[in-house]
Amino acid sequence: MTAVRTVTAKRILTRQKGGFLTQGTYPYTHTLSWAAGCGFGSIYCGKYCYAANFPNWLYNKQEGEKWGDAVILKENAPDLLAAELAKAKNRSEMRIFMSSVTDPYQPLERKYRLTRRCLDVFAQYDDLDLLIIQTRSPLVTDDAERIAAIPYAWLSMTLETDLGDLPYGPSANHVRQRMSAIKSCAEAGINVQITVSPCLPYSPDFADVLANSGAKRVVVDTFVDGDGSQGERTANSPFAEEAAYDWRSDDPARTLYDALAARGMEVGWSADGFAGISPRKQVLL
């Protein structure tokens, strides 16, 4: 069982001065994470999750704890967000990624509703440029109406594959649940992107599945391009020992990218794809 601890944080918006999220055409200015650690850390994605090596977790874990063993909640996150947005002088330029470290719709959200409370803060402002809600969890549908009401919000749903029988991927049921969440959120008027990150082995129908999902854009990523160390973090992960294929090859991901482009989808690659959503003021011109 995942242990839960709480802390009182001093800030919640982290300004980005470099790294993966600043490498694209339209870089992010801030990240937001209301926790250290992740409740999904003990399932398949925890075996290759890059965040397990980030300071956010390493500086807060207790001796002997592994990624997925504990989640440290920043219990005052919504209050901090309210204070920081209220005093911000450049809200129209703020591009916020929630979250690069821990899933905002991990199971604990159902109890603590920290993401929901942060969304209620964002709903008080209509002048930010972008809020990305990055998740792999169908629980996001709990807040579909809230997200749809925020004009600069995007749902970014991870879907690494359409296969449900991989030993290192989502179950068939979870693939169906994510696809259902994507379609229902798109139908609710939410801007949706799908992140195939990292790209796992997939069926011949995957490009059609993505093209017919209702998502406005897709980001395709690989272990090597996406882990921030040209694959070295992945090479040292439990996944690398279990994967029965050449995870370093980007050929499958490139093939998927080309197939999506051929179907008329807006598709981005790795860091440039994640930071590829045009600014609102540019879209409105």
Residue 255 buriedness (CB in 10 A; 0-12 / 13-18 / 19+): middle
- What 3-state class would DSSP assign to 72? strand
Task: Please indicate whether residue 190 or residue 1 has the higher confidence score (pLDDT).
Answer: 190
Find out if CATH 3.20.20.70 is the number for domain 3-284.
yes
CA distance 100 to 132: 10
Strand partners of residue 157: 135, 194
The mean predicted confidence, pLDDT, of the chain is 91
pLDDT score, position 2: 83
From 167, 172, 163, 231, select the one nearest 196 (Cα to Cα): 163
Q: Which residues of 177-209 are buried (b: 16+ CB within 10 A; e: fewer)?
A: bbbebbebbbeeebbbbbbbbbbbbbeeebbee
Res. 284: pLDDT tops 60: no
Q: Measured between alpha carbons, how far is residue 16 from residues 23, 74, 96 in Å? A: 11, 19, 10
Q: What is the pTM of this model?
A: 0.93
Q: How confident is the model at residue 238 (pLDDT cuts 50, 70, 90)?
A: confident
CA distance 53 to 135: 19
Q: How confident is the model at residue 285 (pLDDT cuts 50, 70, 90)?
A: very low
CB 183 within 8 A of CB 211: no
| Residue ranges covered by each domain of the chain | 3-284
Q: How confident is the model at residue 253 (pLDDT cuts 50, 70, 90)?
A: very high
CA distance 270 to 273: 5
Instruction: Return the minimum-mean-pLDDT range out of 12-21, 231-240, 253-262.
Output: 231-240
Average pLDDT over residues 126-142: 97
CA distance 151 to 126: 7
Kindly tell me the sign of the dihedral angle through the C-alpha atoms of 47, 44, 51, 22.
positive
The DSSP H or E segment spanning 255 is helix 251-262
Q: Which residues contact 131 (CB under 8 A, 6 or more apart)?
A: 96, 98, 122, 150, 152, 153, 154
CA distance 242 to 219: 25
Task: Please indicate whether residue 281 or residue 118 has the higher confidence score (pLDDT).
Answer: 118
**DSSP secondary-structure letter at 138?**
G
The DSSP H or E segment spanning 209 is helix 206-211
Average pLDDT over residues 140-169: 96
CB 21 within 8 A of CB 10: no
Res. 185: pLDDT tops 50: yes
Which tens digits make up the pLDDT trace of 1-41?
Answer: 788 889 999 999 999 998 889 999 999 999 999 998 777 76
Instruction: Return the minimum-mean-pLDDT range out of 36-40, 72-76, 140-144, 222-226.
Output: 36-40
Which tens digits make up the pLDDT trace of 40-98?
Answer: 766 666 666 666 666 676 667 778 778 678 888 999 999 999 999 999 999 999 999 99
Res. 258: pLDDT tops 90: yes
